[in-house]
A = this chain, B = another copy of it.
Amino acid sequence: MTETAAENRRIVLARRPDASLQHGDLRMERVPLPTIDDGELLLRTLWLSLDPYMRSRMNDAPSYAEPVAIDAVMVGATVSRVIASKHAAHAVGDLVLAASGWQDYAVSDGTGLTRLDTDMPRPSLALGAMGMPGFTAFVGMLDIGQPKVGETVLVSAATGAVGSIAGQIAKLRGARVVGIAGGDEKCRYAVEQLHFDACVDHQQHDFAERLAAACPSGVDVFFENVGGAVWEAALPLLNDHARIALSGLIANYNRAAPSDGPDQTAQWLRILLTRRVSLRGFIIFEHYKTRHEAFVEQMSGWLREQRIVVVEDVIEGLEHAPAGLMGLLRGDNLGKLVVRVAD
């Protein structure tokens, strides 16, 4: 990590990506270290979270969140240390969950900060299993998927930040869990380390047949993070009264135009109708008020009792964040992708 104490490195959106995110779409700038006024504090980024939603925020399309402006710092959740404070509620040395984005330092007026235990052994968990991805898995699996003992639960992006937790929660509920992941290594990981009952590699040419074979009793809950070919292979396997928790569509985030035909819409709708499927799209920020407290209590317990395995993929250095996000969108990561920005 090359930096001097007096400057702030920040990565900004240089231009909106055409389709796939490219290196020139992001740009690193070096600016003077910001100063703080009364009521403000200066945060040092320790950990930056990389998440699929970041790709959507680069588009200028209507969505649930504002797009990142051109030349603005890329958004992102961080674990940060307070290194200067003119704010009554925060002291130097405090560890906080913040939204500093892709930069070494950020000024905050305290809004939206969550204090973390200063001696937290593994602060990056606040970005993963104990953070937004873990909460997404919790709400999507328990509130929408509602798996029952013995049911078959299908989880796409099975070794990703959300999928790895979602599948393990379903296992804790007594379901049979089948993962979908890209590549043999990830699939082995899902079965051997995360204790999924099976995992199917979507890069295989006969993926749909393999998936059907891995789900001999059909699919009762589909936790969908991907879309595209994964959706196509999963839909025909749904049982009557299946529940779909639509959590993400990473296969589409880098895509500019609709796929070539034929149009499959009628086929999906027919399945959703005749099998009496419930589908619910959800965005996790809406669920903090009602469910976050229950999540923190439950997930803390599971982690303490080591009933949930946490998988982290660590990138060293802010300067490698752009390549990290590109890899995430290609599916290169295994587990929650985080950037170690400073110690």
- Give residues in A with beta carbon < 8 Å to B: 63-64, 227-228, 231-232, 240, 246-249, 251-252, 255, 257-270, 272-283, 286
Contact = CB atoms under 8 A, between A and B. Distances in A.
Contacts of A231: 265, 269
Contacts of A264: 258, 263-265
Contacts of A267: 258
B279 A279 contact: yes
A55 to B, nearest CB: 13
Contacts of A283: 273-274, 276
A262 B260 contact: yes
Residue of A255, A266, A286 most packed against chain B (CB within 10 A): A266
A279 B144 CA distance: 12
A266 B227 contact: yes
Nearest to A64: B274
A60 to B, nearest CB: 14
A228 B267 CA distance: 11
A174 to B, nearest CB: 25
Assembly stoichiometry (copies): 2
Nearest to A227: B269
- Residue among A232, A251, A268, A278 with most chain B CB within 10 A: A278
Contacts of A275: 64, 281
Given A276-B283, A279-B278, A270 B252 contact: yes
Contact of A261 (B63, B260, B280): B260
A134 B257 CA distance: 41
Nearest to A271: B281
Given A263-B261, A266-B259, A240 B64 contact: yes
A178 to B, nearest CB: 21
30 contacts: A64-B240, A64-B275, A228-B266, A231-B265, A246-B273, A249-B269, A252-B270, A255-B266, A257-B262, A258-B261, A258-B262, A258-B263, A258-B266, A258-B267, A259-B262, A259-B263, A259-B265, A260-B262, A261-B261, A262-B263, A263-B263, A263-B264, A264-B264, A265-B265, A272-B281, A273-B282, A274-B283, A276-B280, A276-B281, A276-B286
